[in-house]
Amino acid sequence: MQGVPSSNLGAPTSLKPPPPEVSWSCAWSHSGENEDLTDASYPRSPRRRWNQRRGLANGTTGGARRPANFTAAAEAGGGVKVHSGTMLSRLIHRRTLWWPTLLGWGLIGVVIVTPLVWWWFKGEDFLSATHRLSAEVLVVEGWIGRENLEAAKTEFERGGYTYLATAGGLSKNDWDGNQWNYAREAANLMLRLGVPPDRVIEAPALETKSQRTFESALAVRRVLDARRLQPAAVNIFTVGAHAKRSRLVFAKTLAAGTRVGVISVTPIGYPSGPWWKSTERADVFLKETVGWLYELLLNSGRTSNSESLKT
């Protein structure tokens, strides 16, 4: 061959010997156990040994990233060691966080916004809905005003009721400090309108500045119990958006087994059109929304619906 000295022909090619075996050890503070990569577990292939050593030098073992405090000791006999975890790793740790996608946020928005939109347009009708039952007793809330009390008298005559019970507490103070009881005034009006006295039940509530509807319902139950009347069903006669909350309170307060219906009439002179165009209707609607939810979810803060009956 040209270009090759004859003295080198047939001589074995000089190969660089593989690097000496190095003992590698790894003490991880995460699991509390030491994992030693000794000669017995070290790959026999020089190529694999080289890749393993390169992985340790880069801070990974078997594809796992080394901790921040990974330090190398002397290669000769000492191996590579990992010290204990830092203070930060002892205080915090990483977790997977599930986060909605754009489609997920859209679905969440639909679930939240749809009921609000429905309540904005239909909430007043929902709170003012009439659920008339075939009942023996018509309970009339005395504060609803003379015109609506006259409508209650008409309902009593047409509905085939046995008794008409008037409910309510004290009126608000006027300039002179005079007050009257709504239940008594409503009962007197019913008598003047021609309702027989033996069919009128007067149920004045105790004086209270809060939970007036509950006190009215409690007074009606006391009077019915005193007369040993246990009607299978009663209807509550009231006005506007107060109907839903009034029915709920009476259903919780009257005797078990008594079904409660409600009849709601529109107040005389009530502004027409959407509720948000009337200050008066908006005020009533918003208050009754909060009041109904408070009664439905939290019992209006009461611990019992019959605790006062024990006194």
User: Residue 17: what pLDDT?
Assistant: 57
Burial class (CB in 10 A: 0-12, 13-18, 19+), 49: middle
Helices (DSSP H) in the chain: which residue ranges?
Answer: 46-57, 87-91, 102-127, 146-159, 182-192, 212-226, 242-253, 279-298
Q: How far apart are CA 222 and CA 214, in angstroms?
A: 12
| pLDDT tens by residue, 148-201 | 999 999 999 999 999 999 999 988 765 556 778 999 999 999 999 999 999 999
- For the chain, state the CA radius of gyration: 42
Share of the chain above pLDDT 70, in %: 69
Of residues 79, 45, 81, the one with CA closest to residue 66: 81
Where are the domains positioned within the chain? 20-91, 124-310
Q: Does domain 124-310 have CATH number 3.40.50.620?
A: yes
> Could you tell me the pTM of the whole model?
0.68
Residue where the block lists tokens 């046995």? 162
| pLDDT tens by residue, 137-146 | 999 999 999 9
- Spell out the residues 6+ positions from residue 76 whose beta carbon is closer than 8 angstroms to its own: none
* Tokens read off for 300: 């209006």
User: Residue 268: what pLDDT?
Assistant: 80
User: Residue 179: what pLDDT?
Assistant: 78
Residue 52 predicted with pLDDT over 80 = no
Of residues 164, 161, 173, the one with CA closest to residue 141: 164
Of residues 188, 198, 147, the one with CA closest to residue 168: 188
Q: How far apart are CA 194 and CA 208, in angstroms?
A: 31
Q: How far apart are CA 285 and CA 269, in angstroms?
A: 16
Residue by residue, DSSP assigns 2-32 as: TTS-GGGTTPPPP-PPPPPP--EEEE-TTTS
- At 248, is the secondary structure helix, strand, or coil? helix
User: Residue 175: what pLDDT?
Assistant: 57
Half-sphere exposure of 110 (CA within 13 A, CB side): 6
Question: pLDDT-derived band of residue 111, with 50, 70 and 90 as boundaries?
Answer: very high
Torsion angle defined by CA atoms of residues 303, 206, 165 and 125, in that order, rounded to the nearest 10 degrees = -60
| pLDDT tens by residue, 229-278 | 999 999 999 999 999 999 999 999 999 999 999 999 998 888 888 999 99
Burial class (CB in 10 A: 0-12, 13-18, 19+), 54: exposed
